[in-house]
Amino acid sequence: MTATETIIQIEDLTKIFYTDEIETHALSGVHLNINRGEYVAMSGPSGCGKSTLLSIIGLLDTPTGGRYTLNGKEVANLNFADRSRIRNQEIGFIFQSFNLIGDLTVAENVELPLTYRAGMPSAERKRRVQESLERVNMAHRMRHYPAQLSGGQQQRVAVARALAGSPSILLADEPTGNLDSKNGEAVMKLLQELHSEGATICMVTHDPRFAAHAERQIHLFDGKVVAEGELNKLLAEVEA
Ligand SMILES: Nc1ncnc2c1ncn2[C@@H]1O[C@H](COP(=O)(O)OP(=O)(O)OP(=O)(O)O)[C@@H](O)[C@H]1O
Ligand SMILES: [Mg+2]
């Protein structure tokens, strides 16, 4: 493993959503390289394409144009089974809207992605569920349902679910969005630990204090990656 090996390589990526008569250009030519083991924070105004980009990086959605190479393989050439396997075994998600399943308990939610892993014994799954819930201080709520938890607690369960699979790539969309500063810092500490264990992390955050935890900060504006100075200028123009 070398420090400069590119794990995520994105060239001229575009994404257009078609709804009724409207075309939304969510991504308009994104260029981005992320090295293995790197910790990147992503920011930019609401609607600029951050979640869309994370979904494509995480193989949950496909681009309209451009090229995405993950781990040296062009994603467009992967078949359905390869995509599912990579998503399940290598990628962890913390979604902006948690995506917890209401009919499952906290423990079952955390265990769910592990049940798709061929060959992981039940005892190993239970051990990981326990350990990851302990890491986010939610082990005492194992048998609760998501609706019985506060927003911040649901967020922590979503973090535990992502950690349980020991992903090599963690994609986090506003992982601290619903947390007070103490819990937000606790999540940052977990991401830092995962990072020091070698994981590649891409985190969307609006909060510069949290972004400061990353090694590199990138900024999106109108579906493109822009430099920090450029972003500030564009935002000043928008606000004027
Ligand atoms: N499934 C979809 N169908 C149609 N349009 C969509 C869809 N998903 C996103 N968009 C549009 O694409 C653009 C980018 O959305 P995206 O969710 O990536 O923004 P974002 O940067 O994550 O914003 P926020 O900070 O508010 O979460 C927006 O204009 C949004 O309305
Ligand atoms: Mg978003």
pTM of the predicted model, to two decimals? 0.92
Helix (H, G, I), strand (E, B) or coil at 36: coil
Using the predicted structure, report yes or no on whether residue 2 has a pLDDT greater than 60: no
Q: Tokens 């922590």 correspond to what residue?
A: 156
Say which ligand is closest to the CA of 49.
1
Helix (H, G, I), strand (E, B) or coil at 115: helix
Testing ligand 1's pocket by substitution, the residue of 24, 221, 235 carrying the most ligand atoms inside 8 A of its CB is 24
Helix (H, G, I), strand (E, B) or coil at 116: coil
pLDDT computed for residue 134 by the predictor: 94
Using the predicted structure, report yes or no on whether residue 142 has a pLDDT greater than 90: yes
pLDDT digits (tens, 9 = 90+) for 35-58: 999 999 999 999 999 999 999 999
pLDDT computed for residue 233 by the predictor: 82
pLDDT digits (tens, 9 = 90+) for 192-232: 999 999 999 999 998 888 999 999 999 999 999 998 778 78
